Chain A
Amino acid sequence: MEIREPYGCFLTSSATDEMTHGHFKFLLKEYGPVISFLIIQILFYTWFGAYFS
C-alpha cells in the first residue's frame, strides 16, 4: 500500500497495517457480525410488527 506522507491520510497509519495486509478476510471477520446482526434485527422487527398487528 502506498504511503502518502505528509498529508496524514488514514493510509499512513501503522495502526491500519493489519487491515492493509489482511484485506477482505480481516474486514469480514471484524465487521461482518455487526452488519449481520443489523440485518437480523431488521428482519425480526418486520416479523414482530406483522405478528402482533
Chain B
Amino acid sequence: MSIVDWLVLLFTFAIVIGYGVYKSRGQRDLNSFFLSNQSMPWYLVLFAIMGTQASAITFLSAPGQAYTDGLRFVQYYFGLPLAMVVIAAFFLPAYRSSGFYTAYEYLEHRFDRKTRLLTSFLFLLQRGLSTGISIYAPSLILSALMGWDIAITNLCMGGLLILYAVSGGSKAITYTQTQQLLIIFSGMGIAGYLAVEGLPESWSFSDALHISGATGKLNAITTGINSDGFNWKDKYNLFSGIIGGFFLALSYFGTDQSQVGRYLTASSLKESRRSLLMNGFVKIPMQFLILLIGALLLTLHSSQNPPIHFNTALLEKAQKSTVGAELGELEVRHEAWAAKRTEKAELLTTYLNSGKTIPQELKDELRISNDSVESCRKAAQSLMASGVPGSDVNDTNYIFLHFVINTLPEGLVGLLIAVIFLAAWGSIAAALNSLASTCMVDWHMPLRSKARSAERELMLSRLYTLAWGVFSIAVAFLAGQLGSLIEAVNILGSLFYGTILGIFCVALFMPFIRGNAVFIAALITEFAVIFVFLSDSISFLWLNVIGCFGVLLGASLLHLLKQKKAPADARA
C-alpha cells in the first residue's frame, strides 16, 4: 500500500474511533449503556441493525460468490422481509412490554429461570465463538494479500473498536455504525463504478450485463427442482431462501441479542417496528447490488487474463511446491480458455452494438468457455490442496480484494481496506455489547442478587465488554490453529438458532405450555439437530426449521402427556 493509502486508512480509523469516544458521554447506568436510554430514532436503529448484520466477510465474500456462482445467492435473503413482519407484530411487543434489557429476560418472565439460562447460554456459546471468527476471517484474507502480520491484523480488527464499545456502550456503537455504513456504501459504490470504468471502451454497462448474463451468472431465481425432484442439498433456491431463510432471519433478528439489543434502543415501539420493516425493504436490494459488483467483475475479467487463483500468496507457494509443473500446465490451459472467452465476449458486444440479434450458438460458446475457465480454476484448487497441505484453497473471499488491490487507484485502496475494517467493527462491537448485556443481566444479576449501585453495575458491564473483547481476540488467535474447524464454527449459528427460535415461539404462541415441557423439548431437539447435521443429508439452512418445529412439537407432546397424567394422579 502507498503512503496515501495508509494516510486514508489511518485517517478513517481516527475519525470513527474519535467519533465513537466522543459519543460515549452520558453513560450513567445499565439503561444508558445497553439501551441508549431507549432514545434512538428509527433511522439510526435501522443503520445499527444493518451494520450489525453486515460483517467484513459480507462485503468480501458476496461479490466473489456472484463471480463464481451467480446472483442466486440473493434468494438467501427472501425470507428476511417476512421475518421482519413477524418480529414487528409478535416478538417486539413482548420484549418492550416490561422494559427488558435482553430477549432472554423475557423467557424467565414467561417460563422459568432454567429456560432463560439455557437459552442465554446457547447464545453466549455460539456468539462468543463466531465473534472470534468474524475477527479472524477478514484478518486472514487481508494478511495474505497485503503481506501483513496476522497477529497485528487480528489486534486491529478486534481491538481498536473496544475503545468505544467499552466506554460508550450501545449509543456509541449505534452512532459509529451509522458513520461506518455511510463510508462502506460510498466505498462499494466507487468500487462498482470503477469495475464498469475498467471495461474496454467499446463495452457499455448494458453490454457488461449481457456478457455476464450469457454466462448464466445473472439468473437470480432458481427453484432447486431437477429431474430427480427437489434437491434438498441445494443451498440457494427460491424455496430454501423463503422458508429456510425466513426461519434463519426470524431466529437471528428475533432471538439473537446482538440484534434484539439494537432495536430495543429505539424511542418507542413504533420506532422499533419502523426500523425493522425498513430493514425488510432495503436489505435485499442492497445485497443484490453488492452481488452485482461480483457479476460485473466477471465481465471485467472476461476482457482480461485473470490469475488462475485469487489468493496470490498461496498460488506462489503452490507454484514452488511439488505440484508446480502440473499447475503451470493448467495455467496455460486457463489462459487459452480465458482468451477464447474474451474473443466471444467481444463478438457478443459487436452484435449488441450493431443492433443485431445475438445467435444462441455464440451465447453457448461464451458460456462453455467461461465454464472451462471455471473448471481450470477448480482443478487448480485441487492441485494446490495437495501441493500445500492444510491450506484453504477456496478463493471466493479473495476475488473482490484482489480487484481492489490490483485495479483501484492510490487512496481508494486505503478507503476500501478501511471499509473491510469498519464492516467488521460494526458487527463485532454490537456482538460484544450483546455478550456483555447477556452476561450481566441474564447471569450476573440473577445469580448474585446483592444490591449494587448504578455506577458499580455500569463498571461491571464495561468489564464484561472488555472481557468478551479479549476472549474474541483470543479465539481469533487460536482460529489459525483450528484449520477446518472454522467452517464448523460458521455453521454453529444454524445448529442452535432453530432450538432458540422454537423456545421463543412456544413462549409467544403457546400460552398454555410451561417451563419444564419447553426445557426438556429444547434439550432433546438440540441433540436431534446435531444428529441431522452430522448425517449430512440436508443443507444447513433447513436445520433452523427442524430445530424450531422440534421444540414446538416436543413441548406440545410433553404438555399433553402431563395433562393425561395429572387426572390419573388425582384419581390415585
A9 with B82: CB separation less than 8 A: no
**Is the C-beta of B430 less than 8 angstroms from some C-beta in chain A?**
no
C-alpha gap A37/B80 in the complex (Å): 12
Rounded to whole angstroms, the CA-CA distance of A12 and B84 in the bound complex is 21
Question: Is the CB of A24 closer than 8 A to any CB of chain B?
Answer: no
Verify if B194 is at the interface (C-beta below 8 Å from A). no
Partner of B110, one of A9, A15, A48: A9
Main secondary structure of the interface of A (DSSP, over half): helix
If the complex has contacts A8-B507, A31-B277, A37-B281, are A16 and B93 also in contact, measured as CB distance less than 8 A? yes
Q: How far apart sit A27 and B221, CA to CA, in the bound complex (Å)?
A: 28
Residue B407 lies at the interface, judged by CB distance under 8 Å to chain A: no
Q: How far is the CA of A13 from the CA of B91 in the complex (A)?
A: 11
Q: Which residues of B contact A10 (CB under 8 A)?
A: 90-91, 93-94, 508-509
User: Is the CB–CB distance between B82 and A15 below 8 Å?
Assistant: no
- A49, chain B: closest CB distance, angstroms: 4
Contact with A along B140-184 (1 / 0, CB 8 A): 000000000000000000000000000000000000000000000
* B511 CB within 8 Å of chain A: yes
B220 at the interface (CB under 8 A from A): yes
Chain B hits for A49, CB < 8 A = 71, 213, 218-221
B511 — nearest CB in chain A belongs to which residue? A9
Contact across chains for B106 and A8 when beta carbons are under 8 A apart: yes
Residues of B within 8 A of A38 (CB): 78, 81-82, 280, 284
Q: Are A15 and B269 in contact (CB under 8 A)?
A: yes
Which of B94, B210, B219, B284 has a CB less than 8 Å from the CB of A8?
B94
Contact at B84–A34, with CB atoms within 8 Å? yes
Q: Closest A-chain residue to B279, C-beta based? A: A34
C-alpha gap A19/B96 in the complex (Å): 15
> Which residues of the partner chain A approach B508 to less than 8 Å between Cβ atoms?
9-10
Q: Which residue of chain B has its CB nearest to the CB of A14?
A: B97
Let me know if B285 is at the binding interface, CB within 8 A.
yes
Shortest distance from the beta carbon of A50 to any chain B beta carbon, whole Å: 8
Question: A8 to chain B: which residues have CB within 8 Å?
Answer: 94, 97-98, 106, 109-110, 507
Q: Tell me the A5-50 residues at the B interface (CB within 8 Å).
A: 7-16, 19, 27, 30-31, 33-35, 37-38, 41-42, 45-46, 48-49
Chain B proximity of A32: nearest CB distance (Å): 9
Q: Which residues of A contact B92 (CB under 8 A)?
A: 15
B96 contacts which chain A residues (CB < 8 A)?
Answer: 13, 15
Query: What's the nearest-Cβ distance from chain B to residue A6, in Å?
Result: 9
User: From residue 166 to 216 of chain B, which have CB atoms closer than 8 A to chain A?
Assistant: 209-210, 212-214, 216
Q: Which residues of B contact A14 (CB under 8 A)?
A: 97
CA–CA, A34 to B83, complex, Å?
Answer: 11
B293 within 8 A of A: no
User: In whole angstroms, what is the CA distance A26 to B269 when docked?
Assistant: 15
* Closest A residue by C-beta to B280: A34
Give the distance to chain B from A47, nearest Cβ to Cβ, in Å: 9
Q: What does the 1/0 interface line of B490-509 toward A look like (CB < 8 Å)?
A: 00000000000000000111
| B454 at the A interface (CB under 8 A) | no
Whether A15 contacts B93 by the Cβ 8 Å rule is yes
B273 contacts which chain A residues (CB < 8 A)? 30
Q: How far is it, in angstroms, between the C-alpha of A38 and the C-alpha of B218 when the chains are bound?
A: 18
Give the distance to chain A from B504, nearest Cβ to Cβ, in Å: 10
Q: Is B470 an interface residue (CB 8 A)?
A: no
Enumerate chain B residues within 8 angstroms of A9, measured Cβ to Cβ: 94, 110, 507-509, 511
B: residues with CB less than 8 A from A are 71, 74, 78, 81-82, 84-85, 88-94, 96-98, 106, 109-110, 209-210, 212-214, 216, 218-221, 238, 269, 273, 277, 280-281, 284-285, 288, 363, 507-509, 511-512, 514
6 A-B contacts, Cβ less than 8 Å apart?
Answer: A10-B90, A10-B94, A13-B93, A38-B78, A38-B284, A49-B220
Add 16 more A-B contacts to A10-B91, A10-B509, A53-B216 (CB < 8 A): A7-B110, A8-B109, A8-B507, A9-B508, A15-B93, A16-B93, A27-B89, A30-B88, A38-B78, A38-B280, A41-B285, A48-B220, A49-B218, A49-B221, A51-B213, A52-B213
